[in-house]
């Protein structure tokens, strides 16, 4: 199975993009680098977690660090697109290894407030202070000499953002590969209507913009893929071709009502609303994950 692929820069102002696929969570992590300066950003890194044993590890994050060292890169940013529901974020681990600042969208504060109530965590700070930078819609920053901008892209979550770095758009869980379609919008705070609007904004980017997705579920058993273009998405995405807003929302809501919740959502959000920090050890030195019962719908009893 393909678990790594590099998309090379094709000219000035365009990044090299290395994608790392995690088969356990179907997630893609990225290292986005500026060929002119060897500065880079890490996007959506995965902290390994085995829900059966409760074990955590840093295999995937260390693979990224090895790539960074091998390519003689300097990490300038550690970026998350949203608080993930299907894997733990390795942002804090990588910050400890590299010293680079962490960042996420500013609406993460709304997600924190929502999940603070779900978990009954009275001491959880809901001001986003767990990250070094909170990005708002339209904010601009740089990766080396590459221009980067932030697009607020809610729908999948309240806080989802897209990073556009040079000619590369990191669209998290809005669009998938064209043969799989688009992301679900039924998590707490999700909205199919907002997701449609976010997707339309992404599709207004230049046609040749490279689109990098947050997951790939390998329909029909094909190899993992995570790169397309805006033009390809416009022409061939199975959920968007010949579709209008009303029909899309109806399709999305019907489809989502039939999906079980991700198996790690209740594990992951209590870590990811803290910026990738694991729970503090208790008086016996062990860390514990808190699982609220009978809170989320979507139990797949027959599976």
Work out the average pLDDT over 52-80: 98
Distance in angstroms (rounded) separating the CA atoms of residues 100 and 61: 14
Q: In the structure, what pLDDT confidence band is assigned to residue 8 with cuts at 50, 70 and 90?
A: very high
* Residue 17 · residue 30 · CB < 8 Å: yes
Distance in angstroms (rounded) separating the CA atoms of residues 171 and 57: 26
Helix (H, G, I), strand (E, B) or coil at 221: helix
Residues 171-202 have pLDDT tens digits of 999 999 999 999 999 999 999 999 999 999 99
Work out the average pLDDT over 266-273: 97
Residues 217-260 have pLDDT tens digits of 999 999 999 999 999 999 999 999 999 999 999 999 999 999 99
Residues 146-171 have pLDDT tens digits of 999 999 999 999 999 999 999 999 99
Strands 140-143 and 133-135 come out as: unpaired
Q: How far, in whole angstroms, is CA 59 from its chain's centroid?
A: 18
130 CB contacts (<8 Å, ≥6 apart)? 273, 274, 275, 277
- Alpha-helical (H) ranges within 99-191 are 108-119
Report the predicted TM-score, pTM, of the whole model to 2 decimal places: 0.97
Q: In the structure, what pLDDT confidence band is assigned to residue 297 with cuts at 50, 70 and 90?
A: confident
Residue 302, pLDDT above cutoff 80: no
Count the Cβ atoms, other than its own, within 10 Å of residue 278.
17
Distance in angstroms (rounded) separating the CA atoms of residues 211 and 233: 9
Residues 72-121 have pLDDT tens digits of 999 999 999 999 999 999 999 999 999 999 999 999 999 999 999 999 99
Amino acid 96: pLDDT: 98
* Residue 12 · residue 34 · CB < 8 Å: no
Count the Cβ atoms, other than its own, within 10 Å of residue 123.
5
Domains of the chain: 4-270 (3.60.15.10)
Distance in angstroms (rounded) separating the CA atoms of residues 94 and 141: 20
Beta bridge partners of 147: 142
- Alpha-helical (H) ranges within the chain are 59-70, 91-98, 108-119, 192-203, 230-236, 245-257, 265-272
Helix (H, G, I), strand (E, B) or coil at 60: helix
């Amino acid at each position: 199975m393909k678990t790594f692929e590099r998309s090379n820069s094709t000219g000035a102002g365009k990044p090299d993009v290395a994608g790392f696929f995690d088969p356990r969570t179907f997630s893609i992590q990225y290292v986005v680098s500026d060929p002119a300066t060897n500065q880079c950003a890490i996007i959506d890194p995965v902290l390994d977690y085995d829900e059966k044993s409760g074990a955590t590890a840093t295999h995937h994050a260390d693979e990224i660090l090895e790539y960074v060292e091998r390519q003689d890169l300097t990490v300038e940013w550690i970026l998350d697109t949203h608080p993930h529901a299907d894997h733990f974020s390795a942002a804090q681990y990588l910050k400890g290894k590299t010293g680079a600042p962490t960042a996420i969208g500013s609406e993460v504060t709304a997600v924190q407030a929502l999940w603070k109530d779900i978990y009954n965590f009275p001491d959880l700070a809901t001001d986003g202070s767990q990250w070094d930078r909170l990005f708002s819609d339209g904010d601009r920053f740089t990766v080396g000499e590459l221009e980067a901008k932030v697009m607020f892209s809610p729908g999948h979550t309240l806080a989802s953002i897209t990073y556009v770095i040079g000619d590369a758009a990191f669209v998290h869980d809005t669009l998938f590969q064209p043969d799989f379609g688009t992301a679900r919008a039924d998590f707490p705070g999700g909205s199919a209507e907002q997701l449609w609007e976010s997707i339309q904004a992404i599709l207004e980017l230049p046609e040749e913009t490279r689109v990098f997705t947050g997951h790939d579920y390998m329909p029909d058993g094909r190899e993992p893929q995570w790169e397309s273009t805006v033009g390809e998405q416009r022409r061939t995405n199975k959920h968007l071709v010949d579709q209008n807003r009303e029909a899309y929302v109806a399709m999305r809501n019907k489809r989502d009502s039939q999906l079980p919740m991700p198996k790690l959502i209740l594990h992951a959000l209590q870590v990811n609303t803290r910026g990738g920090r694991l729970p503090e050890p208790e008086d016996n030195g062990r860390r514990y994950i808190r699982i609220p019962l009978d809170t989320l719908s979507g139990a797949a009893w027959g599976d």
